[in-house]
Chains A and B, each alone.
Chain A
Amino acid sequence: MSTAVQDTRAVYPPVTRRTRRGSIFRGGNALVYGIALVVVAVTISPVLYGVISGFRTNTDLSRNPSGWPEPWILSNYSGVLTNSRFWGYAFNSTMIALITTAIVVVAGVMAAYPLARYEFRLREPLYMVFVMGLLFPAAVAVIPLFIMITNDLSIGDTWWGVALPQAAFALPVTIVILRPFLMALPKELEEAAMLDGASRVGFFWRIVLPLSGPGMVTVGVLAFVGSWNAYLLPLLLLRNDSMKTLPLGVADFSTRYASDIAGIFAYTSLAMIPALLFFLTMQKRIVSGLQGAVKG
């Protein structure tokens, strides 16, 4: 990084006259705000349109698609909220996401520990096995996974049947994020623990685990959001309606009641609330995790 900095400095021609000092990064002229406003509008208006249209009647919606609700009605939303299948899907989504997250975090931090802090011959090759996993698109494995989970292991239509392969595909990125994190713990810590007679396992329990909390939260959040939003694997592996997740429910509802457009908007709006809430509370973690993945 530092070399790059010097490069640009060398390339950059020294200019002697100083002009308009301090004005450059204050930002904030009208044009900048204008562009920002357009970006915000384009980004958020489809979502807002969906939420607001959920308060409209279908006749109102078809008469004037771009208008304001006239009248405002609550029946679309209350219809979804009293729909037991909606809650069933939400429950399945929650359980599958929790199981996926638990597997990813526990197995991930355990594997990252020796890969970060043990010296052994197979360390780098083993790490490369997981890194290669980043390159395996889930789509490549879906057909054999379907056959294996449904026929060979007979865990089709179960939470674990979806959570296990999801966790498996989330593990590479987890390990890639956690390894540098664990490597960054200072060597002196380990030496001190060693002098006190701690074993490597003891060091892992008493020191590595507590200190790597933030890293584990990050990979956990990523795994949770990934599982919550997943479509392809659940689509293949969950055939029984009572086991389906929220994205499958949304997709089913939108094709089964294709003419009930306001109802579809209400359904999708309610289905996006958990992900949005989770995002707002965990935003920093998600971003830092993605960034960690990029750096790794």
Chain B
Amino acid sequence: MTDVADEANAHPGAGASTATSLPTGAAGSAITLRAAPVKSRRRGMGSGPRKSLEIVFFVTPALMVFLVFVVWPVIKAIQYSLFSWKGYGPLVDFVGLQNYLYVLKNEVFQDALVHNLIIVVLSIAIQLPLGLAIALLLNRKIRGQGLLRTIVFVPYVLSEVIAGVIWRQLLTANYGLIDTVFSALGIPTPAQGYLGDTSLALGAVMVVLTWKYLGLAVVLFLAGLQGVPEDLYEAAQIDGATYWQVQRRITIPLLGPTVRTWVFLSMIGSIQVFDMVWILTKGGPAEATNTMATFLYSWGVERNLIGIASAASVVLFVVALIFALTFKRLVLRRDAIDYEPRKTRKAATR
């Protein structure tokens, strides 16, 4: 429980180390089990039809589940988006791109898209520096470090529903804890509560999202910090570097790949956020906190406008894709270069 990151960090290497320590036993038992009649020493593990059959055998279950429940629905979403359809009866009312025009011109959807972008930007702008600071703090040898790490990670493990329901109570007007405390401190609070005020609701949702996901950033950064070799610190110390110099010049640059990948995950998550918003506000008040996902849920499921909701979902997908590809282009490329030697080495050994 104490050394989360130690173990965590060992993971990719762990495969190798357990593998190298175990083989004597494992291979040994294979030898005795198969008391090797020479004839079964086929050339290689075969190629040709038998190998293809094996590949098909191994891959089919995952591929089937994936194709049927992920790829096919996405294709169907594209199809539905071209029809005016209420979810029952035959799919005949072809309307071309009208649903897309409708969605893109719809102010509620435009706002939803803007909210998503705000969440993307603020999540990174708030959680990156804060997460980094806390991770650096926890990386020092302080008492109760393991317990601290566990506690920081707790919100991430709770379901969004549970976190959302608790926070909704905390943020209620008059009887909510936060309202009470702020009033006592003389800070004015909105009459309808933070989640009921059109200008504050999105900010309140953002606070809850930050509370929920900061722990993930901290834990990932901490794990990345464990990968910074200790002798680098020692060398810097001997050279008389101050704590801040060490962090700025050594730790943070070396954390680059972890940070970049976290940013990527955070972005994709922010674009599709649904659960927390739905629990806290259902997109309200007065559509002030809709996201693309809550838009497509309320139009598709509550109003049964399948065509329009599907068009919205395709737009969501395209936005996610644009973000992912742009990010990969601009940022992750640098990591790909870093990893190149490792990859070629792997390729050479096989």
**Would you call B344 an interface residue if the criterion is a C-beta within 8 Å of the partner chain's C-beta atoms?**
no
Q: Taking A21-B238, A184-B12, A185-B15 as contacts, is the C-beta distance between A140 and B77 under 8 angstroms?
A: yes
Contacts of B317 in A (CB 8 A): 136-137, 140
Give the residue of A107, A126, A199, A215 whose beta carbon is less than 8 angstroms from that of B46.
A199
Cα distance A145–B22 when bound, in Å? 44
Question: Closest residue of chain A to B85, judged by CB?
Answer: A147
Q: Is A139 touching B313 in the complex (CB atoms < 8 A)?
A: yes
Contact with A along B155-177 (1 / 0, CB 8 A): 10111111101111110000111
Question: Closest residue of chain B to A17, judged by CB?
Answer: B240
Q: Is B66 touching A130 in the complex (CB atoms < 8 A)?
A: yes
Q: Is B162 touching A250 in the complex (CB atoms < 8 A)?
A: yes
Q: Please report whether the interface of chain A is mostly helix, strand, loop or mixed according to DSSP.
A: helix
Cα distance A20–B136 when bound, in Å? 20
Cα distance A290–B220 when bound, in Å? 8
Within 8 A of A (CB), among B122-181: 134, 137-138, 140-143, 148, 150-155, 157-163, 165-170, 175-177, 179-181
Give the residue of A3, A19, A148, A283 whose beta carbon is less than 8 angstroms from that of B153.
A283
CB distance from A31 to the nearest CB of B (A): 10
**Interface size of B in residues (CB-CB distance below 8 Å):** 147
Q: Is B40 touching A197 in the complex (CB atoms < 8 A)?
A: yes
Q: Is A27 touching B142 in the complex (CB atoms < 8 A)?
A: yes
CB distance from B19 to the nearest CB of A (A): 5
Cα distance A203–B35 when bound, in Å? 15
**Would you call B92 an interface residue if the criterion is a C-beta within 8 Å of the partner chain's C-beta atoms?**
no
Cα distance A206–B223 when bound, in Å? 32
Contacts of B229 in A (CB 8 A): 5
Q: Is A65 touching B180 in the complex (CB atoms < 8 A)?
A: yes
Q: Taking A111-B59, A140-B314 as contacts, is the C-beta distance between A275 and B45 under 8 angstroms?
A: no
Question: Closest residue of chain B to A33, judged by CB?
Answer: B142
Q: Please report whether the interface of chain B is mostly helix, strand, loop or mixed according to DSSP.
A: helix
Give the residue of B41, B140, B177 whose beta carbon is less than 8 angstroms from that of A27.
B140
Q: Taking A169-B70, A236-B301, A294-B220 as contacts, is the C-beta distance between A189 and B51 under 8 angstroms?
A: no
Q: Is B154 touching A28 in the complex (CB atoms < 8 A)?
A: no
Q: Is B51 touching A200 in the complex (CB atoms < 8 A)?
A: yes
Among B1-9, B100-108, B187-195, the stretch that binds chain A is B1-9
Question: Closest residue of chain B to A111, judged by CB?
Answer: B62
**Would you call A167 an interface residue if the criterion is a C-beta within 8 Å of the partner chain's C-beta atoms?**
yes
Q: Is A139 touching B293 in the complex (CB atoms < 8 A)?
A: yes
**Would you call A74 an interface residue if the criterion is a C-beta within 8 Å of the partner chain's C-beta atoms?**
no
Q: Is A8 touching B158 in the complex (CB atoms < 8 A)?
A: no
Question: Closest residue of chain B to A116, judged by CB?
Answer: B350
Cα distance A201–B58 when bound, in Å? 9
Give the residue of B240, B250, B310 whose beta carbon is less than 8 angstroms from that of A8.
B250
Cα distance A184–B16 when bound, in Å? 5
Within 8 A of A (CB), among B288-346: 292-293, 296-297, 300-301, 306, 309-310, 313-314, 316-317, 320-321, 324, 338, 341, 346
Q: Taking A107-B62, A164-B65, A287-B5 as contacts, is the C-beta distance between A272 and B162 under 8 angstroms?
A: yes
CB distance from A41 to the nearest CB of B (A): 10
Q: Taking A200-B45, A275-B159 as contacts, is the C-beta distance between A292 and B11 under 8 angstroms?
A: yes
Within 8 A of A (CB), among B204-254: 211, 214-216, 219-220, 223, 227, 229, 232-233, 235-243, 246, 249-250, 253-254
Contacts of B31 in A (CB 8 A): 192, 196
Q: Taking A206-B26, A275-B159, A288-B8 as contacts, is the C-beta distance between A141 and B70 under 8 angstroms?
A: yes
Question: Closest residue of chain A to B321, judged by CB?
Answer: A135
Q: Taking A119-B350, A135-B268 as contacts, is the C-beta distance between A197 and B161 under 8 angstroms?
A: no
Contacts of B55 in A (CB 8 A): 114, 118, 120
Contact with A along B8-25 (1 / 0, CB 8 A): 111111111011101100
Question: Closest residue of chain B to A3, judged by CB?
Answer: B338
Which of B46, B152, B238: most chain A CB closer than 10 A? B152
Q: Is A294 touching B265 in the complex (CB atoms < 8 A)?
A: yes
Contacts of B265 in A (CB 8 A): 293-294
Contact with B along A1-26 (1 / 0, CB 8 A): 10111011101101111110110111
Cα distance A232–B275 when bound, in Å? 6
Cα distance A61–B12 when bound, in Å? 49
- Additional pairs, 10, CB under 8 Å, beyond known A144-B73, A172-B66, A232-B278: A120-B51, A133-B66, A140-B73, A143-B313, A192-B23, A204-B58, A210-B26, A231-B160, A275-B159, A290-B220
24 contacts across the A-B interface (CB closer than 8 A)? A4-B256, A26-B140, A28-B140, A43-B155, A66-B184, A126-B59, A129-B66, A137-B320, A139-B274, A139-B296, A142-B296, A143-B310, A144-B80, A164-B68, A171-B66, A184-B15, A203-B45, A225-B157, A251-B165, A251-B279, A275-B157, A275-B162, A288-B9, A292-B12
